[in-house]
Structure formats: C-alpha cells, structure tokens
Structure 1
Amino acid sequence: MNKRLPAEQVSAIRRRLAAGSTSAGALNAQHGLLTTIDVASADAQVRHEVTGAGLTIGPLLEDPDVTDVVVNGPGQVWVDRGDGMVQVAPEEGDDSVRTAAGVRALAVRLAALCGQRLDDSSPIVDGTFPSGVRLHAMIPPLSASGTLISLRTHRAQVLSLEKLAQLGAIPHSLVSLAHALVEKHANVIISGATGAGKTTLLNAMLSRIAVTERILIIEESAELAPEHPHVLHLQVRRANVQGAGEVTMSDLVRAAMRMRPDRIVLGECRGVEVRDVLGALNTGHEGGWATIHANSAHDVPTRLVALGALAQMSESTVAAQAASALDAVIHVERRGAWRGIAQIATLHRQGGELVAQIAVNVHAGGVQYGPSYQQLCERLGL
C-alpha cells in the first residue's frame, strides 16, 4: 500500500482505540486492507500518527543516529544527528507539525503518553515515554511562537567504558582510573553542558558497580538505565492543580537514605537538594554519583555555591561539605560530533573558598596530568 490511510479511516481507528480496541482490532475493522503488506503499512501509520509522535517525528525518534528532535511551532522541525541542529521538511499530509492546532494536539497527545497533562492550567510539561524518550513541551501564551516540543532520545544500548574508549570518548590511559573511581567507592560529580554526554558516561560508570550492591537513582524523569540487576528509580512528583501532592528531589534523597542504599545517584543536581546530597555523602554513604550543569571543571565550585545558596547554605558551609564529600569532578564536553571526557579535577578549600584543581586535561594532543593527579591516585590506591 503506497498511499496513506484516508482521514476518515484514521478517525475511525482513533475512535476504536479510545473505546478500548487493540491496534490490530482497529485495523482489521477497516475495509480495503487486503494484504499483509497493507496491514503492516497501515500499522506503521497508526503507530506514528494515531498513538505515537506523528509521521514526521515518529521515524526520526526511531533513527539510531538521532539524539534530539524539536518543533519550534508550525512547520518548524529540527533534528540533531550529532553534528548540530538541521531543519527537516514535514512529511506530506502530516498536519501534526504543519498547523498550529496540529502541533498543539500532538504536544497534548505526547504528554498523555507520558502520563502528564498539558493545557491552559498546566502549560509546561516534562515527561518520559516508556521507551525512555524525554519530552518537554510548552504552549502559548508562555511561548510566543506557538507550541514548542523538545524530544531527547534514549540510547537503548548502554555503552561500556571500554566501548566509550574505542569510540574516543575516554582516552585508553584513563579507563583504569575510571574503573577505580567506581570500585573504590569514590564520590563523583559529572559536569557538562546539555547534550555533552553526562548520562552516557554515568550509565557506563554505574554498570561497573558490583552486582551485590543496591543502587538508588533519583531523577526528575527516569533517564538513567545502567546494566545492573539491582537498581531502583525514584522520580519527583509535581504538585497538582490545587498545589498539593508535590514530592521534591530533597524528599527523595532523604527517603533514599532510609532504603539501605549502597549507592545513591542523583540524576541532576539543580536545586536545594544539593544540601541533602552533600549531607548524605558526608555521613557514610560512599560511592555516590551526581551530574551538574557547568561549562568546565573550574566552574563546578561556583555552581555548587549557587545551588547551596538556594538551600540557605553559606559559601563556607558549601565549601567545607563539598571538599569533604566529593573525591572527583569529571567534566565532559561536546566538540562537533565528538563527546567525551575533557577534564578530571579534585575539589579543595583555599582561604575558605571552594576551588577545583585539575588532575587530568584531555585535548587533541593527548592527556596532560595536572597538580592534583597524584593526590587522586593516592585516594584510589593507584
């Protein structure tokens, strides 16, 4: 079947699905689908247009090279395959990205697939599909250019440290150091910009943890998926329209400490939960991991101090807690299509201020070892 299902058949399938029919049942009720090829083609259309992300976006999300897909309003679809954003033309007849009403309806449908609501009373949504794809959507009047949709794909296969080294994301000479950070229960924070590879690296690190250890992962929306048999995922819950029922990252960190964790992992440190994380890592919970947004390892102390201020922590308190709790900072960067480790640093107090001292610098010419490398090796028994 070379042509798409007509609009009336799509509407009929929608009604049957809404009434509880299966996809196969809804398709079998349609006249004119005579061959298995017809049914397979129609099933792909239903998967994308009726129950998925649409004829334009659906196939993009299934492309293993795609990392991000965004819709900047009607007719504005952009995709990142590792070399930056490139605009793509909407598929013919795909009104879900061609018209303002279609884009809004698509955003509402995607939010529902994530178990979220998107409407005038809740105009911003964050969610995760069962497949692991991350959704962020916003509707007018918060967005002046129309409904905005941002989708980040989830890598189905978790890459090992050795595989990352083969791909050039980690210098081969640093693989043993990375293993030691995990095996010696170092407390580590991974920094970097959006899309720099923080989640990919953290998945690889957590997959190295011994199978006898229990990992508790705390995130706003589940993204981390290490290959490990004993992983528990805790997710925040936003307040309802009455402003009640919120469960914050701080609430979950405190709860995790009572759940017999061998490892506490914070998907992203971005608010007052920094107080609870630093407190946990200073009270016997070793081997913790977290990520944070920062432009370099040198910027991590400033970022921690800023987050600590949100939790009413003084700069000196943050410096004392962080210098005591964190053994290393791994900074990752994105340079064109390349993503990988750019710096490894340790945190220290100097005159009451928190500073980062470089242990390793990674550049095009190779690996350069800094003043705190020996100290880090001593901590890890290397």
Structure 2
Amino acid sequence: MILTDELLARVHESLREEPGTIDARRISRIAQAHGLILDRAGLLELTDQVRHHLEGLGPLHTLAAEGVSDILVNPDGSVWVDSAHGLERTDLTLSASEARALATRLASLGNRRLDDAMPWADAQLPGNLRFHGMLPPLSAGGASISLRRAAALPFSLKALEASGTLTPSGRALVEAIIHARLSFLVSGGTGSGKTTLLGAMLGAVDPRERVIIVEDATELRPAHPHVVHLQARHANAEGMGEINLATLIRQCLRMRPDRIVVGECRGEDIRELLQALNTGHEGGCGTLHANTAADVPARLEALGALAGLDPLALASQALSAITVVLHMHRSPDGRALSTIALLQRGGDGRLECVPAVSFGARERRFPAFDALEARLTQGGAL
C-alpha cells in the first residue's frame, strides 16, 4: 500500500476537524471516502505508514534499523546511513519539498522552531534520536537533516571486548581506571565510539555510587541503578530561557554526586567541570572531540580560552582534576580504543598528553605506563 499525497492531505484535514489519535478506524473512514476498500492487513499497513509520516521519521523510518547510528539527508535529497560498515548511500531520495517538510516536522516534534527566520534546529526526539536540521539558504540546495540514533540497550565492557572495541588487556585497564576512581576523558572524532565506551564504563561503576550526568541532549544511558540525568535547555523563539551545561554542573554539586559526568565538553563548561573535579569529586569524566590523544591539550586550551583560562591556568586546573585520557579511533575495521594516556605538565608549564599504552595489531607500552600502573595500584585497582 502506497501512501499518496492526497490521502495524507485528507488525514491532515481530518485531524484539524477532529483532533485525536491516528487509529485504524479513522484511516479506514478516510480511505473509504477516498475510494479505497482495504482488507485488515492493508488497513494496518496504511495506518502504520500514516503514523510514521505524521508522528515519526516518515520516509526514513525503514532506515532506523538495529546497527544504524546515523541517518543523513543531504541538500540534494540523497539519503545516507552510517553503521559498522561505514557511510553508505541508500536507494531513497527525497524531493526538496519532502525534505523541508520532514525537517520542520521533526524540529516541531522536539519542541524546536525551524523556519526561514530560524533556519537551524537541534533537538532530542523520542526513541533515543538526536536531530539537527538546517534550511536553505544556509544549506545550499535544500534542507539538511542529521539524525543520530543511540543504542537501544547500553553496551557492557564485556560486549565491547567481544566486538573488538576493547582488547582483553584494554578492558582490564579500563575496569581498573573505574575501580581506582581516576578522573578521565574519552577523546576521539565524531562517530568514533566515545559515548558508547563512556556509557559502558559508567555501567561498571559500583552500584552504591550516585552518578549525575550532565548533557546537552540525553545520549548516555548506562546500565547503572542510580543515575540522575540533567539536560541543558535551549533558548526559546524569543531568545529566553536558556540553561547551559555550566549552570547544570554547578547545580549538580549540590545534589550529592559520587561521580560527575559531562556528556561532551564543548565550551566554557570545561572550567566548571575542572572546578567541580577539584572539589573532592573523584572519578568524574566526560568526552572530548580530538583527532588524537596528543591533541587533547590543545583542545582543552581552546575550550579554556572560551572560559577565560590561559594555558598555564588551564594546565594547573586540569592536572589536579583529570588523570587519564582514553582515545577512541574509527577505521574501516570498526571502532576501537587506540590509546590510554596520562596528562602531565610539559617543560614549558603547559599541558601535554603522554601515551602509556597503545592498542592495535599489537599492544605497545610506553614509559608512562609505570606511572599509570602506580596510580591504579594506589587506587587499589591492581
């Protein structure tokens, strides 16, 4: 059964005249008025299509399969998906009007405005979906849609080892970092598996600990019995009501956290996180975009500059707040933990990231591994 524009328009008209749920009875009545006589299977299929077009992902809903992490609609209407196999183009193509209508509806579904006056939107959608949309002329040629789909069930460290994301020794070190309550950052590029690893690590935290997670949009869903989620709020159409990550980090200090987690450090909130971790809150963590572990200090300095911290002040704050960097790498073979490194002060007084152990075709240990081992032993994890 193919859903036609005329039939969809009649559904819209019906909903305007009689607001309510989209059920088989309503669709049957509209279909009969449209000259369609359907059997039960056809009616259920058509009802499902209408629901997806009006309440879900519309023409993209069949792409939201298990293992697909991203669904992307380009301005030319081409649709791509990202999975363990990498980016792949699908057979689906959206017209300019279809893409724009879908983008504006998804933004509305996430209580965001997307129109010519506000031509971009970022929203959290039902079903663990993160939406970003952009309209012309900012998106030249047509609407751009980016959908990131979080895993339905959180991964465990055991599952990450089984998938090859962690080696057996890498998993042992990651578990030791958690049990020693070392503060850490998970770094990596977009889609490298930072959030997946962090969520699995939080799932290994002692169940007696209270974990407070601060995020721009809820993506971390660790398998832990005591998690409190705090989510930032964007400004409304009038530019009012924004509550940013820095504010939420300050609030969580008053909520008796055992571990403070920031889903992604991306601005002046780095100052609040470092200050929070310097007030006796061990085992705090977060993720950070960086191409390599060695690039983490430069990334932290850039974020610190947004918060008014010079490189030396940033180094002093970071060294007493964060011990370990876990770097994730994505290759054609998949996502994997590539490096565990330590933050330290360089000869010029600025921050530097020194590798302790790397994973790949073979495991390689560096001189800093002794210092990592000492910290883990001191924390009672080894």
Q: Between Structure 1 and Structure 2, how many residues are aligned?
A: 371
Other-structure match for 1:144: 140
CA contact (8 A) 1:240 1:246 kept: yes
Identity %: 43
Other-structure match for 1:68: 70
Give the letter aligned to residue 61 of structure 2. Answer: G
Other-structure match for 1:7: 5
Aligned pair partner of 1:379 in 372, 375, 379: 375
In 2: Cα distance, 1:115 partner to 1:243 partner: 14
CA contact (8 A) 2:123 2:132 kept: yes
Give the letter aligned to residue 29 of structure 2. Answer: A
TM norm structure 2: 0.93
2:54 corresponds to 1:54: no
Alignment of 1:173-212 (within 5 A): 173-212=169-208
Alignment of 1:1-382 (within 5 A): 3-17=1-15, 19-24=18-23, 25-30=25-30, 31=32, 32=36, 34-55=38-59, 57-61=60-64, 63-90=65-92, 98-351=94-347, 352-364=349-361, 366-381=362-377, 382=382
Q: CA deviation at 1:33?
A: 5.5
CA contact (8 A) 1:171 1:367 kept: no
CA contact (8 A) 2:22 2:47 kept: yes
CA contact (8 A) 1:191 1:331 kept: yes
Q: Residue by residue, what CA displacement relative to the aligned partner does 1:153-175 show, whole Å, maximum 9, x if unpaired?
A: 11112111011101110011122
CA contact (8 A) 1:126 1:221 kept: no
Q: CA deviation at 1:17?
A: 4.2
TM norm structure 1: 0.93
Q: CA deviation at 1:73?
A: 2.0
Q: Residue by residue, what CA displacement relative to the aligned partner does 1:54-109 show, whole Å, maximum 9, x if unpaired?
A: 22x11101x1132211111243111223233222222xxxxxx5322221111001
Secondary structure of 2:359's counterpart equals: strand
Instruction: Indicate how the Cα distance of structure 1 residues 240 and 86 shifts in structure 2: closer, same or farther if over 3 A, else same.
Output: same
Other-structure match for 1:94: none
Structure 1 window deviating more from structure 2 (297-306 vs 36-45): it is: 36-45
Structure 1 residue runs of 5 or longer lacking an equivalent are 91-96
Instruction: Indicate how the Cα distance of structure 1 residues 242 and 23 shifts in structure 2: closer, same or farther if over 3 A, else same.
Output: closer
Give the letter aligned to residue 58 of structure 1. Answer: H
In 2: Cα distance, 1:45 partner to 1:112 partner: 19
CA contact (8 A) 1:17 1:26 kept: no
Structure 1 window deviating more from structure 2 (43-52 vs 10-19): it is: 10-19
Structure 2 residue runs of 5 or longer lacking an equivalent are none
In 1: Cα distance, 2:37 partner to 2:246 partner: 54
Give the RMSD, CA atoms, in angstroms.
1.6
Instruction: Indicate how the Cα distance of structure 1 residues 285 and 116 shifts in structure 2: closer, same or farther if over 3 A, else same.
Output: same
Structure 1 window deviating more from structure 2 (127-136 vs 236-245): it is: 236-245
Give the letter aligned to residue 81 of structure 1. Answer: S
In 1: Cα distance, 2:252 partner to 2:365 partner: 36
CA contact (8 A) 1:114 1:127 kept: yes
Secondary structure of 1:228's counterpart equals: coil
Structure 1 window deviating more from structure 2 (295-304 vs 208-217): it is: 208-217
In 2: Cα distance, 1:275 partner to 1:50 partner: 42
Structure 1 window deviating more from structure 2 (289-298 vs 46-55): it is: 46-55
